[in-house]
Structure 1
Amino acid sequence: MVQQPLIGDDYYVPDANTLVTEDDTPVDNFASAKQQRLLVGALYSSAQEQTFLAEANVGIFYKANQPAIMPDVFLSLDVEVPESWWDKQNRSYLVWQFGKPPEVVIEIVSNKIGEELGKKLKIYEQVRVSYYIVYDPGQHLGQQVLRVHELKGRRYTESQESWLEQVGLGLRLWEGEFEGRQDIWLRWCYRDGNIVLTGDERAEQAEHRAEQAEHRAQLLAEQLRAMGIDPETLT
């Protein structure tokens, strides 16, 4: 029997070469895939100063001799993917490698058999993920579309508050267009409720401000000419 390297007195580091980090099995639908891109992409397009790692459909290995659990989206603060990300031990989120679990996990419900409120909830509770979010746009699990579970002590408590205090971000439903699709989306937001913009939204906003500034300049020039003043002489 091979002796495993110890961490402290109770834990050992599993050999990453024995882990199944990818199985190349497609698991998602169009709607879920697009929603995942929105949640992950907006964070990386934002002006976040804090180091973080956000990803979709990447396995979280949380315990020796246990398969990974693969959330739809997760967010982990103060960590980043190592430079050697093709190395086996860096391809997935190994809790013992990063030194902490993610702060947020989001599951997007597509059917009634995913056990989002059963087995998965218990696993994330055991992993000690601070916030476990269940987004159920099709209302497969009941009338409630968004459920926020916050870790209090050793157990999750369902919260009516969608502001995630430990993360400094919130979640809200937003109706609008993303990647050419008009729908209701789950979005990250700031405390004031304003959504975290994607890169495209930031570019559109900047373009709109530039167009408004140009329009104001044109109006001012017209007013000056009406007063007999050549605006070119004022530059």
Structure 2
Amino acid sequence: MLEYNPQRYFPSSEELPDSDDTPADNELQELIPGLLKAILLMLWAERMDWFFGIDMGIYHDPDKPAIVPDGFLSLGVERFFDVSEASPKEIELRLSYPLWEENVVPILVLEVVSQNYRGEYSTKKEVYASMGVLYYVIYSSRRRRKPRLEVHRLVDGAYVLQPENPVWLPEIGLGIGAERGTYGGVTREWLYWYDELSTRLPTPEERTKQAEQRAQQAEQLARRLAEQLRSLGVDPDSLT
């Protein structure tokens, strides 16, 4: 863990690089965390105490470069970091995530394994454990014999693999798991959030489709009722 020294100058998030400028070599590294964030943006639309970062630098030591997970979730932080001084109504978004500014360690980090390992099981795992990240999630789409999704929980300073799918995360109030579905027109296995009954939460596309279906059903019901009223000699337009 970072030991804070109030006499020492710590750079602000505006002064730090926002990522490691390493290009994603697997499109899933962007799409999977993007889907998880999109679901949270609908589910927690009224909450202002969380942040989900994608390919953003987490600064855990001012003398070391940032560690950049594919995605991470923090609870108990401001949803929006600050408001612009030039325009008080304009919301400023985070550029990076320095722990000495945020004072909250991410509760979950996500790494999507690409064609080449990038320290997911060595360097990064050690750093996340030393930071105190409670859940370390690793997803590898290329696996065939072992589970593609691994959810590790920090227990006594070491990560312990959780066997379920989905895995319930009580501190977050959600579960996370993998199953086949369609997102952005692509049908494959994705990562999703789940409720306490292990029911998958809908994606933005699915929720829009559900709303359209309900609207169509309501319209069809209204037409049938109007036809029944006419058969009884009642003009439905006279009732409105």
TM-score scaled by length of structure 2:
0.81
Greater alpha carbon shift after TM alignment, 156-165 vs 195-204: 195-204
Greater alpha carbon shift after TM alignment, 19-28 vs 105-114: 19-28
Which amino acid in 1 is paired with 2:150? R
The answer to whether the 8 A contact 1:43-1:196 is kept is: no
Which amino acid in 1 is paired with 2:159? Y
The answer to whether the 8 A contact 1:109-1:136 is kept is: yes
The answer to whether the 8 A contact 2:59-2:97 is kept is: yes
In structure 2, C-alpha distance between the alignment counterparts of 1:91 and 1:227, rounded to whole Å: 66
Q: In the alignment, what sits opposite 2:211?
A: 206
Equivalent of residue 125 in structure 2, options 85, 101, 121: 121
The answer to whether the 8 A contact 1:46-1:197 is kept is: no
The answer to whether the 8 A contact 1:75-1:104 is kept is: yes
Q: In the alignment, what sits opposite 2:72?
A: 74
Q: In the alignment, what sits opposite 1:216?
A: 221
TM-score scaled by length of structure 1:
0.83
In structure 1, C-alpha distance between the alignment counterparts of 2:146 and 2:135, rounded to whole Å: 21
Q: In the alignment, what sits opposite 1:42?
A: 39
In structure 2, C-alpha distance between the alignment counterparts of 1:97 and 1:119, rounded to whole Å: 24
Q: Residues 152-231 of structure 1 correspond to what in structure 2 (within 5 A)?
A: 152-161=155-164, 162-231=167-236
State the 1:121 CA deviation.
1.4
Unaligned stretches of 5+ residues in structure 1 = none
Unaligned stretches of 5+ residues in structure 2 = 85-93
The answer to whether the 8 A contact 1:13-1:96 is kept is: no
Which amino acid in 1 is paired with 2:5? L
Q: Which digits, 9 at most, give the CA deviation of each residue in 1:157-189, with x for residues without a partner?
A: 111241111011111223222112122110112
The answer to whether the 8 A contact 2:26-2:115 is kept is: no
The answer to whether the 8 A contact 2:11-2:62 is kept is: no
State the 1:23 CA deviation.
4.7
- Following superposition, which runs of at least 4 residues in structure 1 exceed 6 angstroms of deviation? none
Greater alpha carbon shift after TM alignment, 166-175 vs 68-77: 166-175
